[in-house]
Structure 1
């Protein structure tokens, strides 16, 4: 029940394996903007669909990380490919962090094959979201997937 990231190891409230991947949920302790995080790891799509509960005004509905997702036994590994999509459900979506992708490639943190994969997946995902009228539910339903989310626990003020 641990989430290992580049910034440390965090306790996780929920890990739930699904037909299409893995659901993860945890609190963000002492984070200035985010109080709770939920994510669906979708290896077949090379996407991690994240939903953040913010302390203040909602900045976006979903944050999609373009990533390589693998599983070895009980261990799931996510290799972030730097490109992200911000989704304002039912309104619009945009690819962000192209500068991070290019910088990572320039510094040898990501090779040409991975960069090609990131760009291909990001643009295919954005096109599919556009066809689904920028609805996460409709985009996933078209692929036979239903993503369920939990109600984030209230954090004491």
Structure 2
């Protein structure tokens, strides 16, 4: 049985250019606000698998769309966090709802971490309503991706969203 973890809450402080996570505070190289949310890019220092991270926080869709630059072969094209994204002044907050989608662009997508959501619900970290909202949101995204033949950008276009990415940095 999966051990329960408290809800992960991340903060992005645009003023200080810092990403606050459950594992520490890290400098951010790029914050760029756009019509649909916030773009973030930062290095992953001393991480065994990941070199660089880019993400778009999309409050209206209830997702954070992540793109990782791995040290080795690409494990997936996009990683979507089901989350509540809010903003207060210069600080954006992400309340993770445990469920994630791995997108292999144009091929497939899968929901992961259902066990984490259920363990958190059993432990009282998330209400039944939040649990159901997360499941509904994840399945809505997965169904949309399936209709778009697992093309993330085609699905986002049906929602009126266009995202821009930086090229993956060249390894040192």
TM-score, scaled relative to structure 2: 0.89
Q: Distance in 1 between matches of 2:153 and 2:103?
A: 12
Q: Which residue of 2 aligns with 1:86?
A: 102
Matched, 1:123 2:123: no
User: In the TM superposition, what whole-angstrom CA distance separates every residue of 1:60-99 from its partner, at most 9, and x where no partner exists?
Assistant: 0000000011111111000000000000000000000000
Instruction: Describe the superposition over 1:15-71 as per-residue Cα deviations: whole angstroms up to 9, x where unpaired.
Output: 000000000000000000000000000000100000000000110000000001111
Q: What SS does the aligned partner of 1:117 have?
A: helix
1:35-54 to 2 correspondences below 5 Å: 35-54=51-70
- Secondary structure of 1:44's aligned partner: coil
Structure number with greater CO (CA < 8 Å, separation at least 6) is 2
Which of 98, 104, 111 is the matching residue for 2:127? 111
Q: Which runs of 5+ in 2 are unaligned?
A: 1-16
Distance in 2 of aligned mates of 1:27 and 1:132: 31
TM-superposed deviation, 1:113: 1.5
Shift of 1:135: 0.2
- Say which is worse superposed, 102-111 or 115-124, in terms of deviation: 102-111
SS at match of 1:146: coil
Alignment length (residue pairs): 156
Deviation at 1:153, TM superposition (A): 2.6
Residue equivalent to 1:14:
30
The residue number in structure 1 matching 2:160 is: 144
Q: CA RMSD in A?
A: 0.8
Q: CA deviation at 1:155?
A: 3.8
Measured in 1, the distance between the counterparts of 2:73 and 2:156 equals 26
What does 1:46-65 align with in structure 2 at a 5 Å threshold?
46-65=62-81
